Structure 1
């Protein structure tokens, strides 16, 4: 019998991938990729030995998907950033499933450092980025390594589309 935790995690990864591909218009009405060879496609990564490269590749982001009840966001973010380096991508984020809610309600978490790099690449101020993408901020004590920024997966999909349009990064990765 398959591991139920692995099965649930795989289903969450697939749901994220499918939502982002639909949102970005990368699939046709049947759900098939319009261009299977495109670097723009969101894909689940094949695990490659000891150097984990993240769960989902959504250039220029590596996504670490979490479908668990108890949260450990700062730890997950450190993991996502290491995996982004392994995969050769500039940004690592975490998508945590929101219980009893549609996939687009999942919460995407960024380190403050990653969020700052992304908003600067888009040419936005902190306030403007927070308003455009529905960002919330979690500040835990004086240790800034435990601070993070969150938004819904829906808002992340909009940010991803804007980032790609602004920087042309996905096309450069082809």
Structure 2
């Protein structure tokens, strides 16, 4: 790969995919899919050009992976949500690399709207959901479109596993119909 920044981004996407698949028990010890045809497998998405579908598909989430120095979280979240729509998934989120830390300590960012929709799908009270999955709030001035919530990749992996286990298939679990 000629572009070093592209190589860093690809490495981060692959690391997140591999972490989530291992956490969810979807791969063997050698890293191969236990059931290659399963829709539950976390996969890196093929690039779709103008109708980008995000970097990683972890149904029901589309993850936009970022490995950059300067954060632009609200912009990235809007991008992830558009790409989730293009991919036909209900939730778009951002997963950002933290320099010098493990994949598990990467940061997951979601809009207040997405956070609320996921919480409601799980049927959890606000405080319980926030504490159980380690969410913290970032408020950027009075413009609520710039507000977001953050957790770690490790906490998101637990959330993903619980969501898949607790939320019935047709309820915001797979592709948007």
Structure 1: 5+ residue runs without aligned partners? none
Matched with 1:45 is 45
Query: How far is the alpha carbon of 1:49 from its aligned partner?
Result: 2.5
Structure 2: 5+ residue runs without aligned partners? none
Residue 74 in 1 paired to residue 74 in 2?
A: yes
Indicate the SS of the match to 2:50. coil
Match runs of 1:1-174 below 5 Å: 2-169=2-169, 173=174
Indicate the SS of the match to 1:142. coil
Q: 2: distance between equivalents of 1:112 and 1:166?
A: 21
Indicate the SS of the match to 2:78. helix
Q: 1: distance between equivalents of 2:36 and 2:167?
A: 22
Supply the RMSD in Å over aligned alpha carbons.
1.4
Give 4+ residue runs of structure 1 displaced > 2 Å after superposition: none
Query: How far is the alpha carbon of 1:173 from its aligned partner?
Result: 4.5
Q: 2: distance between equivalents of 1:49 and 1:133?
A: 34
Q: 2: distance between equivalents of 1:121 and 1:17?
A: 24
TM-score normalized by the length of structure 2: 0.95
1:59, 1:169 within 8 Å by CA — same for their partners in 2?
A: no
Residue correspondences, number: 173
Indicate the SS of the match to 1:50. helix
Residues 80-110 of structure 1, C-alpha deviation per residue, up to 9 Å, x if partnerless? 0000000000000000101100001000000
1:60, 1:169 within 8 Å by CA — same for their partners in 2?
A: no
1:66, 1:97 within 8 Å by CA — same for their partners in 2?
A: yes
Residues 1-32 of structure 1, C-alpha deviation per residue, up to 9 Å, x if partnerless? 61000000000000000000000000011111
Q: 2: distance between equivalents of 1:101 and 1:49?
A: 31
1:23, 1:157 within 8 Å by CA — same for their partners in 2?
A: yes
TM-score normalized by the length of structure 1: 0.96
